[in-house]
A and B are shown apart, each in its own frame.
Chain A
Amino acid sequence: MAAEQGKTVDLSVAMILDPVPAADWLVIAPVALPLIFGAVLLMLRHRTATQPRVAIAALAALFAVDLGLLIHVWTGGPVVMTMGRWLPPFGISFVADMLGATLVVTAGLVALVCGIFSIGTVNDIGRRYGFYAFMMLMVAGVNGSFLTGDIFNLYVWFEVFLISSFGLIILGSGRRQIDGATKYAILNLVATTLFLIATGYLYGIFGTLNMADIARKAPELRETAPLMTLATLYLVAFGMKAAAFPLNFWLPASYHTPRIVVAALFAGLLTKVGIYALLRTLVMLFPPERSVLSGLIIWLAIGTMLIGIFGALAQNDIRRVLGFVVVSGIGSMLAGIGLGSEVGLAGAIVYAVHSMLVMTALYLLAGQMRRAGGSYSLSDLAGLYRSHPMMAAIALFLVLAAAGLPPGSGLWPKVMLVQASLADGIWWLALAILVTGLLTTLALGRVFVLAFWRVKEAAERTGSEIATTASAQTAVLILCIPVAVMGVWPEPFIAAAQTAVAGLLDPATYAGAVFPVEAVQ
Chain B
Amino acid sequence: MRTLIFRTMAPYLTSLMVLFSVFVLLRGHNEPGGGFIGGLIAASAFAIYGIACGVSPVRRALYFHPMGISGFGLLIASLAGAMSIFSGVPFMTGLWAEVSVLGVTVDLSTPLVFDIGVYLVVLGSLTSIALALEEREED
Chain A residues in contact with chain B, CB under 8 A?
A: 1, 16, 19-20, 22, 24-25, 28, 32, 35-36, 38-43, 45, 81-85, 91, 94, 130, 133
Chain B residue numbers with a CB within 8 Å of A42 are 67-68, 70-72, 74
Closest to B79 in A: A36
**CA of A94 to CA of B92 in the docked complex: distance in angstroms?**
12
Nearest chain-B residue to A35 (Cβ)?
B78
Is B81's beta carbon under 8 Å from chain A?
A: yes
Of the A-B pairs whose beta carbons lie under 8 Å apart in the complex, a sample of 24, sorted by A's number, is A20-B90, A24-B90, A25-B85, A25-B91, A32-B82, A35-B78, A36-B75, A38-B71, A39-B71, A39-B73, A41-B71, A42-B70, A43-B71, A43-B72, A43-B75, A45-B67, A81-B90, A82-B90, A83-B90, A83-B91, A84-B93, A84-B94, A85-B90, A91-B90
Q: Are the C-beta atoms of B90 and A16 separated by less than 8 Å?
A: yes
A130 neighbours in B (Cβ, 8 Å): 67
Chain B 81-98, CB-CB to A under 8 Å as 1, else 0, gives 110010011111110100
User: Which among B74, B81, B85, B94 is the interface contact of A38 at CB below 8 angstroms?
Assistant: B74
Besides A42-B71, A43-B75, A45-B71, 10 new A-B residue pairs in contact (Cβ under 8 A), listed by A number? A20-B89, A32-B81, A32-B91, A35-B74, A36-B78, A39-B71, A39-B73, A45-B68, A84-B90, A85-B90
Could you tell me the distance in whole angstroms from the C-beta of A175 to the nearest C-beta in chain B?
Answer: 16
Complex contacts, A36 vs chain B, CB 8 Å: 75, 78-79, 82
Name B125's closest neighbour in chain A (CB-CB).
A163
Q: How many residues of chain B are within 8 Å of chain A by beta carbon? A: 22
Question: A40 touching B71 by the CB < 8 A rule?
Answer: yes
Which B residues are in CB contact (< 8 Å) with A41? 71
Looking across the interface, which residue of chain B has its beta carbon closest to that of A17?
Answer: B89
Within the complex, what minimum Cβ distance (angstroms) separates B36 from chain A? 14
Query: Top 10 nearest A-B pairs by Cβ distance?
Result: A42-B71, A39-B75, A39-B74, A19-B88, A43-B71, A83-B92, A28-B91, A35-B78, A39-B71, A84-B92
Bound complex: CA A71 to CA B20 (Å)? 51
Chain A residues in 8 Å Cβ range of B73: 39
Task: Determine whether B65 belongs to the interface, using a CB cutoff of 8 Å to chain A.
Answer: yes
CB-contacts of B31-86 with A (<8 A): 65, 67-68, 70-75, 78-79, 81-82, 85
**Which of B65, B78, B94, B96 lies in contact with A32, CB distance below 8 A?**
B78
| Residue of A16, A28, A39, A85 ringed by the most chain B CB atoms within 10 A | A39
Which residues does chain A contribute within 8 Å of B79, judged by CB atoms?
A: 36
Partner of A40, one of B75, B88, B90, B94: B75
Give Cα A175–Cα B33 distance, bound, in whole angstroms: 41
Which residues of chain A have C-beta atoms less than 8 A from B82's C-beta? 32, 36
Q: Are A43 and B68 in touch, CB under 8 angstroms?
A: yes
With A and B bound together, what is the CA distance between A133 and B93 in angstroms? 26
A20 proximity list for chain B (CB < 8 A): 88-90
Residues of A within 8 A of B65 (CB): 45
| Cβ-neighbour of A81 out of B67, B75, B91 (below 8 A) | B91
Instruction: Tell me the smallest distance from the CB of B126 to a CB of chain A, in Å.
Output: 13
CB-CB under 8 A from B67, the residues of chain A are: 42, 45, 130, 133
State the main secondary structure of chain A at its contact with B. helix
Candidates A22, A43, A85; contact of B93 at CB < 8 Å = A85
Min CB gap A82→B, angstroms: 6
For the complex formed, measure the closest distance between the CB of A294 and the CB atoms of chain B, giving whole angstroms.
38
- Alpha-carbon gap, A83 to B88, bound state (A): 12
Closest to B77 in A: A39
Residues of B within 8 A of A24 (CB): 90
Q: Looking at the assembled complex, report how far the CB atom of A227 sits from the nearest CB atom of chain B, in whole angstroms.
A: 31
A43–B81 Cα gap in the complex (Å)? Answer: 19
Distance, CA A45 to CA B72, complexed state (A): 12
CB distance from A439 to the nearest CB of B (A): 44
Interface positions, chain B 84-139, Cβ under 8 Å from A, are: 85, 88-94, 96
Nearest-CB distance from A106 to chain B (Å)?
Answer: 23
B86 CB, min distance to chain A CBs, angstroms:
11
Q: Which of A1, A19, A82 contacts B96 (CB 8 A)?
A: A1
- Which B-chain residue is minimally distant from A81 (CB atoms)? B90
Determine the chain A residues whose CB is within 8 A of the CB of B96 once the complex forms. Answer: 1
Interchain nearest-CB distance for A16 vs B (Å)? 7
Question: Which chain A residue shows the least CB distance to B89?
Answer: A85
The CA-CA distance from A36 to B90 in the complex, in Å, is 17
Candidate in B70, B93, B94 with the most chain A CB atoms within 10 angstroms: B93
B93 touches A39 (CB 8 A): no
- Chain B residue nearest in CB terms to A80: B90
Closest Cβ of chain B: how far from A189's Cβ, in Å?
Answer: 16
With known contacts A32-B81, A38-B74, A19–B89 Cβ distance under 8 A: yes
CA distance A20 to B85 in the complex (A): 9
Q: Which residue of A lies closest to B96 (CB)?
A: A1
Residues on the B chain within 8 Å of A45, using CB: 65, 67-68, 71
Q: Closest CB of chain A to B83's CB: distance in Å?
A: 11
Q: How far is the CA of A122 from the CA of B73 in the complex (A)?
A: 26
The interface residues of chain B lying within 8 Å CB-to-CB of A38 are 71, 74
Nearest-neighbor residue (CB-CB) of B82 within chain A: A32
**How close is A20's CB to chain B, nearest CB, in angstroms?**
5
How far does the Cβ of B7 sit from chain A's closest Cβ, in whole Å?
30
A130 and B125 alpha carbons, distance in the complex (Å): 13
* Interface pair A133/B81, CB less than 8 Å apart: no
> Distance in Å from the Cβ of A394 to the closest Cβ of chain B?
37
CB-nearest residue of chain B relative to A27? B91
Q: What is the CB-to-nearest-CB distance from B11 to chain A, in angstroms, rounded to a whole number?
A: 27
Q: How far apart sit A83 and B84, CA to CA, in the bound complex (Å)? A: 10
Cross-chain contact of B71 among A16, A19, A83, A133 (Cβ < 8 A): A133
Residues of chain A contacted by B71 (CB below 8 angstroms): 38-43, 45, 133
Complex Cα gap A183–B92 (Å): 36
Query: How far is B30's CA from A1's CA once the two chains are assembled, in angstroms?
Result: 14
Q: For residue B92, which residues in chain A have a CB less than 8 angstroms away from its CB?
A: 83-84
**Nearest chain B residue, comparing its CB with the CB of A36:** B78
